[in-house]
Amino acid sequence: MTSVTIDVRTGRKTEVLGPDDELARARATMQCSPAQMRLALHRSGLLATVQAIADSDPEASIVWEYATVILRASPFIAAMKGAASMTDEQIDALFAHAATL
């Protein structure tokens, strides 16, 4: 639910995001380093699970091994979410925790 107001006299645009849109926008900017993600997964007991996901697919393995940044919006994270049966909220918490490491 996004509300936008545009003043045609100035062209000024004011945008008020609804909760869902705010969350979507926040998720689009979530990221961390590979080291941060590995540490967060290790401390969550999920590192081995995610490594297995990467090992099961050549392209996922390449991304997991060589990515210089881990994006919340990346296909790899989406695959991890599905394979590890994680919720979006758990993924969000993982990134929030990783950012502190």
- Give residues in contact with other proteins (CB under 8 A): 1-11, 13, 15, 18
Contact between residue 50 and residue 86 where contact means Cβ atoms under 8 Å apart: no
Contact between residue 90 and residue 72 where contact means Cβ atoms under 8 Å apart: no
Residue 16 or 73: which CB sits closer to other proteins? 16
Least CB distance from residue 73 to other proteins, whole Å? 17
The region that residue 11 occupies, defined by phi over 0 for left and psi between -120 and 50 for alpha, beta otherwise, is: left
Cα 18 off chain centre by:
20
Residue 10 or 85: which CB sits closer to other proteins? 10
Least CB distance from residue 61 to other proteins, whole Å? 32
Strand partners, 70: 32
Least CB distance from residue 17 to other proteins, whole Å? 9
Residue 17 or 46: which CB sits closer to other proteins? 17
